[in-house]
A and B are shown apart, each in its own frame.
Chain A
Amino acid sequence: MIRTLFLIYGIAVLATVGLAQYRGWSLNRVDEVLNVPKSVRDNPGSYRSVYGSYHHYTGGK
């Protein structure tokens, strides 16, 4: 019973890792936006991503 369960579990782990590798999954977070206008290439300042209000580190020790 435990052999079968762990076999299934191990295969699932390997399949997940393989799929993650093939599809290029990442632990980093990005925001996806659809239909960005083509005018961004001509006027880059017209586009503001959600990261524009990020609080910057300005410290040091």
Chain B
Amino acid sequence: MSSSGPAPPGTPQVKSLNCPSCGATLTVRSLGYAVTIVCESCHCILDAQDPRLQILQKFKAATDEDPPLIPLGTRGSIRGTAYEAVGFQRRTIHVDGIPYSWHEYVLFNPFKGFRYLTEYNGHWNDVSMLRSLPDVSPGGSSLTYLGETYKRFQTAQAGTSYVLGEFPWQVRQGETAEVSDYISPPRVISSEKTGNEVTWSMGEYMSGRDIWRAFKLPGEPPAPIGVYENQPSPLSANVKIVWSLVALFLALLLALLVASYSMARDEQVFEQSVEFNTNVKSEASFVTDVFELKGHTSNVELTTAAKVNNNWIYLNYALINQDTGHAYNFGREVSYYHGYDEDGSWSEGSTKDTVTVPSVPPGNYYLRVEPESDYNHGTIYYTITLKRDVPQASFFALGVLALLLPAALITWRSLNFEHLRWAESDYGGT
């Protein structure tokens, strides 16, 4: 932002003059403060401080080549102060031969002086001049201003390609300046170097909707495209909130885990050792003695430990309520194979299997067991053990996953937002 700084407050003077080049009427809204005026008709840049409006420059541009989104003369309120749009310029940088242009609006209040708005691809910044110099780090990769650190984002040669209205500095079409942006969203500090003069300004991100509301503009603002350099991430604050809540809930989940393990009955209610002779082709099914499941509706954990050696046994189980006839059917296989080949020793399976039967009401139960295996493989010895109300770690693991998953998703989206931001930087970012 090239500027000589805000003018001292005073009484506004609005005056109509005539362009000395084309004779068109010029409405000067900041007379006494403006340094240059651009005729909208013939694009002559005039010396506003000269009573004869000396022509300083004349450039070729089609009328309405680049109409301002905020028409000059529009009044609005920025942070509680009334301003009038008095000047407009388009500035362009070239990156890898590709031109990128943004727009700057000069706002004027006779008591507050000048203020600026910038717009690029639907992203807006409210800009004012810095009152003190920032502290630039050695190498210039960052700067500090009022205790806040700003990271260097971009440096480029910006050229003024189109001007309109009134300016508090000697504006020229075609003038260039080296501009550097340092960001700490939602703020950006920009330096503009022209010759030996460096000016500093600070911008704060604003949404197009806020601008439209401030100036009571008709219609809808242009939708912002992409992620802008100092656009605040809508997710970064959420990330901190969500992870602090995740920590809280994980602590509560751990407390619940400890409470569950300490309060669960985890009581063995039945155990029976059985022999299954596979050499006999007869009905192998049997029922156990009746046992009582106490307490509230809860799970039953059944463990089958079988002495299988390169063999298998399959057991059809039915846990039957003696009084109601309500049965829980399930089948479990216990198989264990091992051997030795060219790759060395190997083994598969296990001699033990555990299954949890969910939500079994209290009552008197028995098991109907029907073993199966290959014929003529000798006798298989196995033991059936039942336990009541056994804590299940699997649900706590699922609980941890359920808490981490949305937090991870929000974090990923936030990181992606920052990635998109820094993809536009010359310096890559962090």
* Closest chain A residue, CB of each to CB of B241: A3
A7-34 vs B: 1/0 string, CB under 8 Å?
Answer: 1011001101110111111111111111
> Which residues on the B side are within 8 Å of A52 (C-beta)?
316, 331, 370
Contact of B333 among A7, A26, A57 (CB under 8 A): A57
Q: A44 vs B410: C-alpha distance in the bound complex, in angstroms? A: 56
> Which residues on the B side are within 8 Å of A51 (C-beta)?
316-317, 329-331
A45 adjacent to B389 (CB under 8 Å): no
B248 adjacent to A29 (CB under 8 Å): no
B329 adjacent to A50 (CB under 8 Å): yes
Q: A53 vs B152: C-alpha distance in the bound complex, in angstroms? A: 70
A61 adjacent to B331 (CB under 8 Å): no
B332-345 vs A: 1/0 string, CB under 8 Å?
Answer: 01010111010000
B346 adjacent to A30 (CB under 8 Å): no
The distance from the CB of B418 to the nearest CB of chain A, in whole angstroms, is 18
B357 adjacent to A28 (CB under 8 Å): yes
* Closest chain B residue, CB of each to CB of A56: B314
A-binding segment of B21-29, B138-146, B213-221, B281-289: B281-289
A28 adjacent to B256 (CB under 8 Å): no
A54 adjacent to B253 (CB under 8 Å): no
* Closest chain A residue, CB of each to CB of B235: A2
Contact of B256 among A3, A14, A38, A58 (CB under 8 A): A14
> Which residues on the B side are within 8 Å of A41 (C-beta)?
287, 322, 366
Contact of B245 among A6, A18, A33 (CB under 8 A): A6
> Which residues on the B side are within 8 Å of A35 (C-beta)?
325-326
Contact of B253 among A14, A32, A34, A37 (CB under 8 A): A14
B348 contacts chain A at the CB level, 8 A cutoff: yes
> Given the known A-B contacts A6-B406, A17-B395, are A23 and B298 also in contact in the complex, defined by CB atoms under 8 Å?
yes
> Given the known A-B contacts A30-B328, A54-B331, are A45 and B403 also in contact in the complex, defined by CB atoms under 8 Å?
no
Contact of B359 among A23, A27, A40 (CB under 8 A): A23
> Interface size of B by Cβ–Cβ distance < 8 Å?
69
Q: A58 vs B238: C-alpha distance in the bound complex, in angstroms? A: 54
B186-207 vs A: 1/0 string, CB under 8 Å?
Answer: 0000000000000000000000
> Interface size of A by Cβ–Cβ distance < 8 Å?
46
A33 adjacent to B357 (CB under 8 Å): no
> Which residues on the B side are within 8 Å of A17 (C-beta)?
253, 256, 395-396, 398-399
Contact of A60 among B286, B310, B410 (CB under 8 A): B310
> Which residues on the A side are within 8 Å of B341 (C-beta)?
61
A18 adjacent to B256 (CB under 8 Å): yes
A6 adjacent to B241 (CB under 8 Å): yes
* Closest chain B residue, CB of each to CB of A3: B241
B368 adjacent to A21 (CB under 8 Å): no
Q: A33 vs B320: C-alpha distance in the bound complex, in angstroms? A: 9
A45 adjacent to B256 (CB under 8 Å): no
> Given the known A-B contacts A26-B356, A32-B326, are A14 and B297 also in contact in the complex, defined by CB atoms under 8 Å?
no
Q: A41 vs B290: C-alpha distance in the bound complex, in angstroms? A: 10
A24 adjacent to B359 (CB under 8 Å): yes
The distance from the CB of B285 to the nearest CB of chain A, in whole angstroms, is 4
A29 adjacent to B330 (CB under 8 Å): yes
> Which residues on the B side are within 8 Å of A3 (C-beta)?
241, 245
Q: A28 vs B353: C-alpha distance in the bound complex, in angstroms? A: 12
A32 adjacent to B312 (CB under 8 Å): no
> Which residues on the B side are within 8 Å of A13 (C-beta)?
249, 253, 399, 402-403
Q: Which of B317, B318, B338 has the most CB of A within 10 A?
A: B318
> Which residues on the A side are within 8 Å of B81 (C-beta)?
none
B331 adjacent to A49 (CB under 8 Å): yes
A25 adjacent to B366 (CB under 8 Å): no
A26 adjacent to B330 (CB under 8 Å): no
9 A-B pairs with the lowest CB-CB distances in the bound complex, closest first: A24-B299, A51-B331, A60-B337, A24-B298, A26-B358, A49-B329, A26-B356, A10-B249, A17-B399
20 inter-chain pairs at a CB distance below 8 angstroms, sorted by A residue, are A3-B241, A9-B406, A10-B245, A14-B249, A17-B253, A18-B260, A21-B256, A26-B299, A28-B355, A30-B358, A32-B328, A36-B326, A40-B318, A40-B320, A44-B285, A45-B285, A49-B331, A56-B314, A57-B335, A60-B338
B residues apposed to A, CB below 8 Å: 238, 241-242, 245-246, 248-249, 252-253, 256, 260, 264, 283, 285-287, 296-300, 310, 312, 314, 316-318, 320, 322, 325-331, 333, 335, 337-339, 341, 346, 348-349, 355-360, 366, 368, 370, 372, 374, 389-392, 394-396, 398-399, 402-403, 406, 410
